[in-house]
Amino acid sequence: MTIQAANFKELRLDRLSRDFGTHNALKDVSLTIRQGEFIALLGPSGCGKSTTLNIIAGLLPATGGGIWLDEKRIDPLRPEERGFGMVFQNYALFPHMSVTKNIGFGLKMRGVAKAEIERRVAEAVALVRLQGQTEKLPGQLSGGQQQRVAIARAIVVEPPLVLMDEPLSNLDAKLRLEMRAEIRRIHNTLGATTIYVTHDQEEALSLADRIVVMRDGQVRQVGIPEDLFSRPDHLDVAEFMGFRNKIAGKAASVAGEHATVVIDGAAIVGRARNTITQGAAAHVAIRPEDLHPVAAGSVGLKAQVISTEFRGREFVGFARMADGTDLSFLARDKLAPGAEITLAAEPDRVLVYGDAA
Amino acid sequence: MSDTAPSIPLGQRLAARGLDGLTLLVVPAVLFLLALFIYPFFYGLFLSFNPKAGGTFANYQRFFSDSFLYGTIATTLWLALPVTIVTLLMAIPIAFRVRTMRHQRLLTTILVIPITLGTVLVAQGLLNYLGPQGWFNRALLTMGLISTPVKLLHNYWGVMISLVITGFPFTFLLTLSYLSGVDPALEQAGATLGAGPWQRFKHILLPLLLPGLAITFCLSFVQAFSVFPSAVLLGAPAGPTRVISIAAYQAAFEEYDYSMASAVAMIMGVVQLSIVVAVLAARGLLYRGPAGGGKG
């Protein structure tokens, strides 16, 4: 394999901002990306992740801050001068060009000799496993194949940076899993540096070396997938990472790593994730898969069952607490709607956030 | 149980082929076409083969043996083709610019006004503006750029200018709509792959626009080819701008030879049609699929 990523040490985003009129789409986003990393920008729609990607690509000017590739400031450059590979959400394949022409386009624009273009396109085609499809037009390909062409077209020019904007969102569930593995394989083969935008936390967790969680145009947390999954820094990040149960209470005591929160008369113990003031309002966050019914009379959250759904190995339950807070949990047995239950989780699986922070 | 499947009622079968009560709504349009287009066409065709004097083809023989008549074809083409090309060449860059503008609607409205004014008002305006004592010549004289007024009226240029003015909005609007149909992500993709503005135009936008531009060319050409009012008002209808529609008019209303006039009209139709067919045939060689970047 001779297609390789161009060399650089790091890409630095320095306090990038973007205003659309009065609306701040991006506020002081700073981030350093090292060569070879696979970075996922993760967040709900409207969080600024695509805006960030477009600014890096040069498709959208920043209204503040700068971008450095090692010691070179690149944000004044036009997209065609940056030479980053980009995979668009709708693929943006040239509909009037064959697969070969699409993939070779970037090389042609760079004035690469014809024979060399042919050789490298053939390599890229092999890398994305599209042999035998090369003379077709994009319209004759399936979604997954179009996706492969888009990836091949972006990487064949050996860009220092590959930018991907929700590349799997138009594919069906099975294909999405396949292409996810494929994208990671190609990243590893090339030693490329990839910035990958997604709103799907599972995708980010399985693909990325580091995840950047964004919200309201700001970076909320940067970390390795394992940390983000089990130790989010903020309540909103926890919620986004799957801690769907968010219950308000009052901090009773803090002892080392652990904090106790009193909710509806029950003392719930969990791991403290930020500064918690004794006696102040606090929230606990628990994943539905960690919350289970326990024997009546045990310490836990009292709630009334709304419904249960069969999920194969177990039931997903929905219940409501006396103050109206909705809970989701896992149960081994089907529960009758209206039943009074007590739900509890292992203290290590419960996160506690003080409200003040 | 019977051996054959139950038959589906005729009405339902017709509906499955797209024929139902709603289909009747096309009847007025069909009648309209029959009464105002198909019938007059065949009537004219028939009439053209029944000359006042001579055999069946006498009108056509007369047309193609008299340079005063057959010359009108070249005269009209010499006006219509350059006008179409000029308007198209103007419309493309302007449409490109307007596409990214914020007050697109306002500008589009201003550009469309010449259509609503009609050829005669535009001609009248140009008579004042371009005349020897008009603003245009006076401005050039005052600035010392010319010493005698430029003659832009009652010749080829007067008609040419007026056709460009009245034809441009139509060409522009069509071009703009074809251009808006091209997914902007394609240009962005081109840019990230290293293509500069000219290369993006040449390799991505132009190939996707060409089929639409071919249609635009045909429609604009047909409009320009049937020029009449501006050729009379702003041109030299006896000489350099004696276009084919003037020949038809003179045959019909000066010689009262409807048969000859019909023959001229038929020849006019054949010339238009051959240009349009040639352009559309060339268009058939182009890519004509969707101008989008993928499914979406």
Closest Cα of chain B to A210: distance in Å? 25
Closest Cα of chain B to A18: distance in Å? 19
Strands of A315-321's sheet in order across? A292-294, A340-344, A301-310, A315-321, A326-331
Cβ neighbours of A137 (radius 10 Å): 17
Instruction: Please tell me which of the candidates B183, B194, B293 has its beta carbon nearest to residue A80.
Output: B194
Cα A197-A203-A204 angle, rounded to 5 deg: 60
- For the record, the structure tokens of A101 come out as 């022409």
Query: What percent helix, strand, coil does chain A show, rounded to 5?
Result: 25, 35, 40
Cα A194-A195-A196 angle, rounded to 5 deg: 110
Cα–Cα separations (whole angstroms), residue A287 to A298, A332, B178: 20, 16, 51
- Tell me, yes or no, if the two domains A10-235 and A236-354 fold the same way: no
Whether A91 and B294 lie within 8 Å, measured CB to CB: yes
What are the extents of the domains in chain A? Answer: 10-235, 236-354
Whether B294 and A78 lie within 8 Å, measured CB to CB: no
Closest Cα of chain A to B283: distance in Å? 14
φ/ψ of A184, rounded to 5, equals -65, -40
Greatest CA span in chain A, whole angstroms? Answer: 78
Give chain A's mean pLDDT: 91
Q: Which of A111-120, A123-132, A256-265, B10-19 has the lowest mean pLDDT?
A: B10-19
Could you read off the pLDDT tens digit of each residue along chain B, which spans 296 residues? 557 788 888 888 888 887 788 888 999 999 999 999 999 999 999 999 999 888 899 999 999 999 899 999 999 999 999 999 999 999 999 998 888 887 888 888 887 787 788 888 888 899 999 988 889 999 999 998 888 888 888 999 999 999 999 899 899 999 999 999 999 999 999 999 999 999 999 999 999 999 999 999 999 999 999 888 888 888 888 888 899 999 999 999 999 999 999 999 999 999 999 999 999 999 888 877 777 655 43
Q: Which residues contact B37 (CB under 8 A, 6 or more apart)?
A: none
Closest Cα of chain B to A83: distance in Å? 6
Report pLDDT for B293: 56
Closest CA to A32 of A234, A184, A193, A200: A193
Q: Which of A125-134, A169-178, A277-286 has the lowest mean pLDDT?
A: A169-178
Cα–Cα separations (whole angstroms), residue A204 to A34, A184, A212, A223, B162: 18, 11, 9, 11, 62
pLDDT, tens digit, for every residue of A150-204?
Answer: 999 999 998 989 999 999 988 888 888 888 998 999 899 888 899 999 999 999 9
Pair A242, A287: CB distance under 8 Å: yes
Cα–Cα separations (whole angstroms), residue B177 to A94, B182, B209, B268, B293: 19, 9, 10, 30, 17
Whether B296 and A96 lie within 8 Å, measured CB to CB: no
CATH 3.10.105.10 fits A10-235, yes or no: no
φ/ψ of B146, rounded to 5, equals -135, 160
CATH 2.40.50.140 fits A236-354, yes or no: yes
Cβ neighbours of A255 (radius 10 Å): 9
Q: Name the most confidently modeled range: A2-6, A24-28, A105-109, B147-151.
A: A105-109
Instruction: Please tell me which of the candidates B186, B188, B291 has its beta carbon nearest to residue A59.
Output: B188
Whether A59 and B296 lie within 8 Å, measured CB to CB: no
pLDDT band (50, 70, 90) for residue A221 = very high
Q: In A, which residues are within 8 Å of B289 by CB distance? A: 95-96, 137, 139
Domains (ranges, CATH) in chain B?
Answer: 35-119+154-283 (1.10.3720.10)
Cα–Cα separations (whole angstroms), residue B128 to B136, B169, B234: 9, 22, 11
Report pLDDT for A140: 93
Q: Is the pLDDT of residue A298 over 60?
A: yes
Greatest CA span in chain B, whole angstroms? Answer: 100
pLDDT band (50, 70, 90) for residue A1 = very low
Whether A137 and B195 lie within 8 Å, measured CB to CB: no
Beta strands A258-263; A245-255: pairing state: antiparallel
CA–CA distance, A344 with A325 (Å, rounded to integer): 15
Q: Is the pLDDT of residue A213 over 80?
A: yes
Q: Which of A21-25, A339-343, B270-274 has the lowest mean pLDDT?
A: A21-25
A171 touches chain B (CB under 8 A): no
CA–CA distance, A222 with A241 (Å, rounded to integer): 13
């531009």: which residue's tokens? B213
What's the length of chain B? 296
Report pLDDT for A6: 66
In angstroms and rounded to an integer, the radius of gyration of the C-alpha atoms of chain A is: 24
Q: In A, which residues are within 8 Å of B294 by CB distance? A: 88, 90-93, 138, 143, 146, 150, 170
Characterize A256-271 residue by residue with b for buried, 16 or more Cβ atoms within 10 angstroms of its Cβ, and e for exposed: eeebbbebbebebbbb
- For the record, the structure tokens of A83 come out as 């030479």
pLDDT band (50, 70, 90) for residue A108 = very high
Residues of B within an 8 Å Cβ radius of A:
183, 185-186, 188-196, 199, 203-204, 207-208, 287, 289-296
- For the record, the structure tokens of A169 come out as 């969102």
